[in-house]
Structure 1
Amino acid sequence: MAENESLVSVIIRVYNGDRYLAEAIESVLAQTYRPIEVIVVDDGSTDKTAEIAAQFKDCIRYIYQQNSGPAAARNHGIKIANGDVIAFLDVDDLWSDDKLKLEANYLADNPSVEIVQGLIQNLKISHLTNDNIEIFEKEYHPYNYINLGSGLYRKLVFDKIGLFDESLRYAEDVDWFIRAWENSISKVVLKQVTLFYRKHRENMTVGKTLTELGFVRIFKKHLDRCRKKGTSPRSVLPGMPTINEYLGAPPNTPKIS
């Protein structure tokens, strides 16, 4: 192992995602960066997820847990990860071929940076083949947002601000990044696309309002923490961007006020 080549632990959380799991694992294994470990956390699937994972048994660590939600599954992966750097990939998304090499090298060359992210390219279903296979096409321009799969994270960050909030069924990533901003965790966004976010009928957030996704509760917690510290939620922390600049936003999304 070269001196600057940190072990990257890649956590793939899956719940009834047998349709996409093989592609997700292959997207990670196709990365040119090494060394990596791939941790598949099966969050209580009842489909053929375990069978698909078994096909990659020589390349991955497969962990099964009772269904507890995305936050708990990712936390499980973080706790057992051996790497100093953590990556996440949702089972229905894909990485660019150079994602790990690009971001891991950036962290190696910039020791003060704790999170590095790339841009996100949305993909939408254009049509189904006769075999019911989904064909995706690009939607919108690439954008900067806090989708976990777009970045790499030094494991020490989780020691500083804690793991994902397991009481949140949705948007636990938003809550975590707000806490990262509150604690001045340094983050850099590269201008290359690193994540292909595939939108389809089975996405967990399809049709959900911001209230249903827990955004109101998350922002209330943010306000309470700010008040406890005696700061304004609109404050600009020393050496940090504004919270909206830090979080970024997908197309047509309201900003935090």
Structure 2
Amino acid sequence: MITSVNSISIISLTYNNWRLLDNAFRSLVSQQLPNVSFIEYIVVDDASPDFNAGEVHDLAMKYGVADKFDFSVRQNAKNIGTVASFNGAIQVSKGDIIIPLSGDDCFAGPNVIGAVVKFFNKNNSLIVTGLRVPVIDGKVYENDLIPDVKYHWLFEGDEQTPLLEQLCLKKNIISGASTYYRREVFELLGKFDENYRLLEDFPFYEKALNNGVKIELLKEKTLLYSMNGISNDSQPHPLLTKDYSRLMNCISKNPNLSFWQKRQVVFNKVFDRTKRSEFFIVLAYLDCFLLRKYESMRKSLVKRIT
């Protein structure tokens, strides 16, 4: 039985960016907190060579974080990656819901935590994702919300097969940075899959949807999202590339996708550009090749018209 939210765990994961935590700290202390019995804030560093827990504590005292929250700092003995680090933080946390907050990100307004709690309570939600607002070099891109409004219908109703197909066949439109979890969902599905090193969110969404767990959309701006992280580099981190490759191979075997959809995943997601241009691959996946060409031509035509 799902009960109302009475406690909150806010988690910041750091690795070589812990000096940016003042952004998160300023954002946290500006929040108008909901009426719950307990709010903790946990910082977990993944073995940054220069990490200084004392400086983090001093910074927390400076901004009043240590006074306003049940505050703790932990450091992994060795670098274990985002997925295992997040799992470890969840394991030691106590809140009814988990709210991630990267050190260089900020809540989009003073009532975000309250809005998230209210949404969980109203809808008995297990997974809630909000709108993130990208920030590049200090500039806020207000018109570039993710998920874009054109995707909102995918979250409506009880049937979320269209959302699963969007994630598997097209692209992931859900930001892990602005997605929040009720503790029961980890008891139901298990924690994030540690076969992945840096990619915790996307595989978990696929698993949730495959098991009938609904991902719900809070149509409010919840996060000012720094576009300077690993997942946004022009040259993706090799471990992240490896994680995506593993995920696409898993998706190509997803039992909730049709035979033809699995072929599309293999052709478009598993094969790279060079592989897709090989004669025998084109011949074997002619339907996927032609569909890809059609979509490319359609997008080009729409772009010229608009």
The alignment's TM-score, normalised by the length of structure 1, stands at 0.76
Query: SS at 2:6's partner residue?
Result: coil
Structure ranking higher in strand proportion: 1
CA separation of 1:209/1:46 partners in 2, compared to 1, >3 Å: closer, same or farther? closer
CA separation of 1:233/1:175 partners in 2, compared to 1, >3 Å: closer, same or farther? farther
Q: Aligned partners of 1:136, 1:17: CA distance in 2, in Å?
A: 20
**Cα distance per residue 1:7-64 (max 9 Å; x no partner):** 1101110112133112213322322124421011111012345233212263411111
Match of 1:104 in 2: 117
**Cα distance per residue 1:118-149 (max 9 Å; x no partner):** 11111101xxxxxxxxx333275212132223
Matches within 5 A, 1:71-110: 71-96=83-108, 97-110=110-123
Q: Aligned partners of 2:208, 2:50: CA distance in 1, in Å?
A: 35
Does residue 40 in structure 1 map to residue 43 in structure 2?
yes
1:220 corresponds, among 249, 252, 266, to 249
**Per-residue deviation, 1:169:** 2.4
The alignment's TM-score, normalised by the length of structure 2, stands at 0.64
Deviating beyond 4 angstroms after TM superposition, the runs of 4 or more aligned structure 1 residues are none
Q: Supply the AA of the counterpart residue of 1:167.
A: N
Q: Supply the AA of the counterpart residue of 1:168.
A: Y
Matches within 5 A, 1:238-253: none
**Cα distance per residue 1:68-115 (max 9 Å; x no partner):** 11111110110011111111112221112221111111111222x211
Query: SS at 2:19's partner residue?
Result: coil
Query: SS at 2:187's partner residue?
Result: helix
Does residue 8 in structure 1 map to residue 2 in structure 2?
no
CA separation of 1:213/1:104 partners in 2, compared to 1, >3 Å: closer, same or farther? farther
Match of 1:190 in 2: 218
Match of 1:157 in 2: 185
Matches within 5 A, 1:108-257: 108-111=121-124, 113-125=125-137, 135-138=138-141, 140-144=143-147, 145-200=173-228, 203-205=229-231, 206=233, 207-208=235-236, 212=241, 214-224=243-253, 226-227=254-255, 231-232=256-257
Structure 1 residue runs of 5 or longer lacking an equivalent are: 126-134, 236-257
Q: Aligned partners of 2:28, 2:205: CA distance in 1, in Å?
A: 24
On the 8 A contact 1:121/1:143 being kept in 2, the answer is: yes
Identity of aligned pairs, percent? 26
Structure 2 residue runs of 5 or longer lacking an equivalent are: 148-172, 261-306
Q: Aligned partners of 2:111, 2:48: CA distance in 1, in Å?
A: 30
Q: Aligned partners of 1:49, 1:146: CA distance in 2, in Å?
A: 33
Match of 1:250 in 2: none
**Per-residue deviation, 1:209:** 7.9
**Cα distance per residue 1:141-162 (max 9 Å; x no partner):** 2121322231321101011111
Q: Aligned partners of 1:149, 1:36: CA distance in 2, in Å?
A: 19
Does residue 53 in structure 1 map to residue 56 in structure 2?
yes
Q: Supply the AA of the counterpart residue of 1:105.
A: K
On the 8 A contact 1:18/1:52 being kept in 2, the answer is: no
On the 8 A contact 2:230/2:237 being kept in 1, the answer is: no
Structure ranking higher in helix proportion: 2
Matched residue pairs, number? 218
Decide which structure has the larger Cα Rg and report it: 2
Q: Aligned partners of 1:204, 1:27: CA distance in 2, in Å?
A: 22
On the 8 A contact 1:17/1:49 being kept in 2, the answer is: no
**Per-residue deviation, 1:4:** 4.6
